[in-house]
Chains A and B, each alone.
Chain A
Amino acid sequence: MEKIIEVQHLSKSFGTNEVLKDINFSVSKGEVVCIIGSSGSGKSTLLRCINLLEKPSGGNILYKGVNILDDKHDIFAYRTKMGMVFQQFNLFNNHNVLGNCMVGQIKVLKRSKEEARRIAMNYLKVVGMDQYVNAKPKQLSGGQKQRVAIARALSMEPDVMLFDEPTSALDPEMVGEVLKVMKKLAEAGLTMLIVTHEMEFAREVADRVVFMDKGVIEEEGPPEQIFNNPVKERTREFLKRTLEKM
């Protein structure tokens, strides 16, 4: 299958603290990859490196075979191809729900207002937030905000959706509504890279699960392997610890 993102020997340090060490992995078109691991293992940093919110210290990131870390590469155009969903939602506070989904389309992709509105409404329907177009972010619940954030990212019609712990800041009863939307997207064949603590969700939705520990990819494989027959000792320990809590 066609590889959309290919990460080669990626490293990232904050000062002397090495957060990512020689990361190699790839995401193919239509694939749903979940990254799991304990806090501080570098999962989020990896995701943030992929859309260049963090600047990698070394290595390459290939997008459709082109190295985006190359000086000449237009990172702004590249970012429009990576839809990002944040743990803290980060909806634009100065825009209402519809505005959040339109501003990027109009100002960055230069779509017309009519087209942007049509696309935004379409994706707001997908996440079930089309009734709230006039609401401001502060008037929404966490789960609603996150669904709008997903619609905002989808409205740019990206090649890959990056989810950075999308349910970690939500109240337990709101986790379900967001996961449901994500599952729907996965079933629709969207390419997704998801950092998550929701093991059940990962097991159910992922084509491949990546387990990270202390800045390296410790193990990766299909969910059946990772969750049922993990090869590595660390993976087993981590799963035992997390699954016990549930």
Chain B
Amino acid sequence: MSLEWIVKIATRYWPMFLRGAGVTLYISIIGTVMGFIIGIIVGVIRTIPIPDKLYKKIILKSINAVLTTYVEVFRGTPMIVQAMVIYYGTIMTFGIDVNRMFAGIFIVSINTGAYMAEIVRGGIISVDKGQFEAAHAIGMNHFQTMAYVVLPQAIRNILPATGNEFVINIKDTSVLNVISVTELYFQTSSVAGINFRFFEAFFIASVIYFIMTFTVTRILRYIEKKLDGPENYTMYTEHLAEETAETAGRQI
């Protein structure tokens, strides 16, 4: 009986599932954060206006060419294939057995980075041109403009897409089982193999995957709301003076 087996497997092997889920969450959180950082760096570099000086122009164009290649290659190949190529590639080249967990995080990070780079670029472009102009007009350079004016707005706009990447990562870390990273899919396979109960084991896995992605989605939605701030503002009156000026200043 299936239900019995589900309960049996869940009660007997829950530490394995839990460890697998932990690894999955660990890799996808770090991978998403790293990918997000990579995406922002690449996105900011790719939006630098083309300078007038010839040598600067050549430097920028070559950097952009490298970044474009990176984005295109990693978006254009499946992560499961990248995992094999990078993992076995490094073993072949350096003759050392790299840490599988590290390899997994590395692969998820650069893969997410490639997607995030395009998302960030889109986010930056979507910010009104007037915001750039106003920032330039008070003397900010490209990086100040990005850091204090454009990116905070762009990041707010790309938050839903970033959440999406996170959810995709939770699911897609399952492909890392090909390099034997002990994430949820790998653990489930082991459990299933021990008992020859594939449906039951993977049914439990699917429930765990869903709980993780659903929770993450909710948390991100909450953060989005928080970032938007309160609908109303308080009027600045004398007795509130110190306090309000304090809090207003802290936002910078």
Contacts and interface: CB of A to CB of B under 8 A. Distances in A.
Interface string A29-57: 00000000000000000000001010000
Given A107-B140, A107-B148, A132-B233, A102 B134 contact: no
Interface size class of B (residues with CB under 8 A): 20 to 34
Interface string B33-59: 000000000000000000001000000
Given A94-B152, A130-B236, A88 B130 contact: yes
Interface stretch (A1-9, A72-80, A173-181, A198-206): A72-80
A53 B252 contact: no
16 contacts: A53-B133, A80-B139, A92-B131, A94-B156, A96-B248, A99-B248, A99-B252, A102-B249, A102-B252, A108-B140, A117-B249, A130-B236, A131-B235, A132-B235, A134-B234, A156-B138
A95 interface: yes
A90 interface: yes
Given A134-B247, A153-B138, 14 more contacts: A51-B137, A76-B141, A84-B134, A86-B134, A88-B130, A90-B133, A90-B134, A93-B131, A99-B249, A106-B252, A107-B144, A108-B140, A108-B144, A113-B252
Interface size class of A (residues with CB under 8 A): 35 or more
Contacts of B141: 76
B11 interface: no
A92 B245 contact: no
A147 interface: no
A95 B131 contact: no
A134 B236 contact: yes
Interface string B134-152: 1111111100100011001
Nearest to B156: A94
Contact of B245 (A86, A89, A121): A121
Nearest to A152: B138
From B128, B134, B235, residue with most partner A Cβ within 10 Å: B134
Contacts of B144: 107-108
Interface in B62-81: none
Given A113-B249, A131-B235, A136 B229 contact: yes
A93 B227 CA distance: 13
B174 interface: no
Nearest to B130: A90
Nearest to B245: A117
Contacts of A149: 134
A76 B140 CA distance: 6
Interface of B: 53, 128, 130-131, 133-141, 144, 148-149, 152-153, 156, 229, 232-237, 244-245, 247-249, 251-252
Interface in A52-82: 53, 71, 76-80, 82
Interface of A: 51, 53, 71, 76-80, 82-84, 86, 88-99, 102-104, 106-109, 113, 116-117, 121, 130-136, 139, 149, 152-153, 156
A104 to B, nearest CB: 4
B149 to A, nearest CB: 5
Contacts of A136: 229, 233
A83 B139 CA distance: 10
B237 A131 contact: yes
Contacts of B234: 134
Contacts of B137: 51, 53, 79, 82-84, 86, 153
Contacts of A113: 249, 252
A90 B145 CA distance: 13
Contacts of A131: 235-237
A134 B248 contact: yes
Contacts of B128: 90, 93
B138 A79 contact: yes
